[in-house]
Amino acid sequence: MATTTEPTPPKAQPAPTPTKPPALPTTANQRKAQRGSAAGLLANLALVLYFAFSLLPVLFIVALSLKTNAEQTTTYLWFTPTLENYQTVLGLGDSGSSYVRFFLASLATSTGAVLVSLLIGIPAAYAAARYRFKGSEDLMFTLLSFRFAPELVVIIPLGVIYQQIGLYDTIFGMVWVLQLVTMPLVVWILRSFFQDLPAELEEAALLDGYTRRQAFLKIVLPLVRPGIAAVCLLAFIFAWNNFIFPFTLTSGDAQTVTVSSLAFLGGNQVRFNLVAAGAVMAVLPPLVLALCIQRYLVRGLSFGAVKG
């Protein structure tokens, strides 16, 4: 007798687990989020207040440069602006001001000091980054110590030497002394840029047939271009704002705007509005330079900040 097999019933599929709706934030989480947003709002407000406080002297000096002689000692927010102070400083009237000549002298001495510092400082920074020897760190610290030493320490010997060799009150003499201010800055900053570049780049270039000079000019130098732009701006600002060297080593021909602005404080009447007008115009060259190289400036100032 044949046996029949009963078909096995299909296995029941497990019922899908119902998904729970997202839990609503608790009261504690809500309070924490509110405290975080309030803290962020207070931090932003503090930054705005600090920015306004930092900008206040700039706005004050601009407003002072537009005031008349009768209004220059007042603190009124409302006044009648005038461009007479700028005309007087530029010598467009009957004042006979030499501000333009001193302005051009400042441009010549600051630009010359930066160019000399770059011409000598870039190879020196590269050599300091790639070639290590006994006492190299001491040598670099000695170079940096020129920035630590007060300028008054060397101003008397420099004054005597400049008088004897004929460099007193000359553009060349000012370029030579201002590069003492900018050279350590250029070497130390660019040294860190060269150190952040892997030496394998130059080794690969040497294997491809490049000479050491070609590898430096065609491979290394373009990579540190943002750093060169940043250090140019910093060196120019240091040279442009220097006061003690032009004040001591010049008397008229090579005098800079930082010294010539003091002429408006003498005489029978102190003209603060003229000093303010001269100061506003003295800010323009560093500002224009920063705007021209702003494409490289941010990258150059942050280059090498994070090492992989």
pLDDT 10s digits, 2-19: 555 555 555 555 555 555
pLDDT tens for each residue of 26-53: 566 667 677 777 788 888 899 999 988 8
pLDDT tens for each residue of 135-172: 777 777 777 777 777 888 888 888 899 999 999 999 99
Residues 6+ apart with CB under 8 A from 74: 67
Q: How many residues does the chain have?
A: 308
Residue 146 lies in a domain: yes
Domain count within the chain: 1
Residue 126 lies in a domain: yes
Q: Which domain holds residue 211?
A: 107-259
Confidence check: pLDDT of 182 > 50: yes
199 vs 296, higher pLDDT: 199
294, burial (CB in 10 Å: exposed 0-12, middle 13-18, buried 19+): exposed
Contacts from 43-47 at CB under 8 Å and sequence distance 24+?
none
Residue 297 lies in a domain: no
Residue 155 lies in a domain: yes
- Residue 10 in 3-state DSSP? coil
Residues 6+ apart with CB under 8 A from 239: 109, 110, 113, 114, 178, 181, 182
Q: Would residue 227 be called left, alpha or beta, if left means φ above 0 and alpha means ψ between -120 and 50 degrees? A: alpha
Residue 175 lies in a domain: yes
Which residue has tokens 């600002």?
A: 237
The CATH number for 183's domain is: 1.10.3720.10
Residue 248 lies in a domain: yes
Q: What is the pLDDT of residue 236?
A: 93
What average pLDDT does the segment 281-287 reach?
Answer: 90
Q: State the chain's mean pLDDT as an integer.
A: 81
Residue 184 lies in a domain: yes
Q: What is the pLDDT of residue 307?
A: 45
d(CA 178, CA 108): 11
Residue 191 lies in a domain: yes
pTM of the model: 0.77
What average pLDDT does the segment 276-289 reach?
Answer: 89
